[in-house]
Copies of this chain bind each other. A is one copy, B any other.
Amino acid sequence: MDITLSPALDAHDTRILAELQADARLTMAELGRRVHLSQPAVTERVRKLEASGVISGYRATVDLTRLGYGIRAIIRVGRAEYARVVELVQQTPECVNAYNVTGDDSWVLEIAVIDVAHLDAVVTKFCILTETATSIILNPAREHQPMLPPKRADVKPPIRKVLNA
């Protein structure tokens, strides 16, 4: 893995990433118009972004509520054998995301279920392994925020008292 983004992404690439994260079905011709590049030029840039792995895929986003999932929840799973959790996640189609994390909890899962009975069924599967803590999502205030290359300049060091001040 190369830490240095081989040829750093320029302003054109950034605009392309923004557009495709907003609408993955744009044609290369339309994308070219929006970023002010010719169609062959954007096609080549997109090809490179895909080849370098910066763009890892294109997916349709579905509305889980309209699909019939009435409840979304976060399950935090405590210390447990890694392989056992992975196995259980693989057997759980209701699990949208599963992150192995640092801290008291070893896993943070995001699930979608039909109703409370269904939630009970899924949570119980993980309760058997170890302690869990379940939180129902009331409102996904932000989802799938389009991400652009970070700019160091944006990072403001926190202003506060430090011990060795």
Query: Which residues of A are in contact with B by a Cβ distance under 8 Å?
Result: 1, 5, 9, 17, 20-25, 52-69, 73-74, 86, 89, 93-103, 105, 108, 112-114, 117-118, 120-121, 124-125, 133-150, 152, 154-158, 160
Summarize A's interface: helix, strand, loop or mixed.
mixed
What are 11 A-B residue pairs whose CB atoms fall within 8 Å in the complex? A5-B67, A21-B60, A23-B58, A53-B66, A67-B147, A96-B147, A99-B141, A101-B138, A114-B150, A114-B155, A120-B158
Min CB distance A54 to B, Å, is: 5
Cβ-defined contact, A54 with B63, below 8 A:
yes
CB atoms of A54 and B67 under 8 A apart: yes
Contact B24–A68 (Cβ < 8 Å): no
**Given A139-B100, A157-B121, A158-B120: A54 and B66 within 8 A (CB)?**
yes
Residue of B53, B60, B73, B108 touching A74 (CB-CB under 8 A): B108
| Closest partner residue, chain B, to A157 (CB atom) | B121
Taking CB atoms, residues of chain B closer than 8 Å to A143 are 97-98
Does B157 lie within 8 Å of A95, measured CB to CB? no
